[in-house]
Amino acid sequence: MKVLKLSGQGLPQSWISLEQAVIHYAADEVRWEIGAPVAVFRGGHNAITGRQSVITVSSIIGTRGVPGINPFQLRPGLTNAKLFARDRNICAYCGGHFGEHDLTREHVVPFAQQGRDTWMNVVTACRPCNHRKSSRTPEQAGMALLYAPYVPSLWEDFILRNRRILADQMEFLSRGLPRTSRLHPGLS
Ligand SMILES: [Zn+2]
């Protein structure tokens, strides 16, 4: 399980471990918290009061300090796991739904024709469709795309990066999604 760390402005910064979150709490860097408590850590006893320190970690925390990333300059990294999640494990050519092992990263304009390895030029395809299309464009192969590729937004990228998102984290990130996003909860 990961904690969603936000900047002071409320923009997603990173997924961090519980241990990293505790360090932010201990350094008094947590400006606000939303979401449910997800863990309680007990520390040492205060020498004067005898009270034990307790840190309760929330699923979403806002920290002070300079944001590590500028969302407007973000180019989310391309991985197969995120690509398949963007496309909901659906082959762009036959529309079939497949497990990760039967899927491939398909270049719409193939490398052989100067196609590039970018979000806008890749879709999810099953192995037979990828093989059949080969080094041709969809037009040349007579295989129309069932959906269009797109570059994930900052909020989409955070959803794609974490496969075990808690409900309140998903709800928070969903608010930043474009209306047209395929990642809205409840869609399938
Ligand atoms: Zn297919």
Q: Ligand 1 centre from 53 Cα, in Å?
A: 56
Amino acid 137: pLDDT: 97
The SS3 assignment for 136 reads coil
Amino acid 188: pLDDT: 46
Amino acid 69: pLDDT: 62
Domain boundaries, the chain: 3-69, 80-141
The CATH label, of 3.40.50.2000, 1.10.30.50, 3.40.50.300, 3.20.20.480, for the domain at 80-141 is: 1.10.30.50
Compute the distance between CA of residue 1 and CA of residue 146 in angstroms, rounded to an integer: 34
Report the DSSP beta bridge partners of residue 27.
none
Amino acid 106: pLDDT: 98
Q: Ligand 1 centre from 125 Cα, in Å?
A: 5
Q: Ligand 1 centre from 81 Cα, in Å?
A: 17
- Residues of the chain below pLDDT 70: 65-74, 186-188
Q: Ligand 1 centre from 99 Cα, in Å?
A: 12
* pTM, entire model: 0.78
Amino acid 112: pLDDT: 94
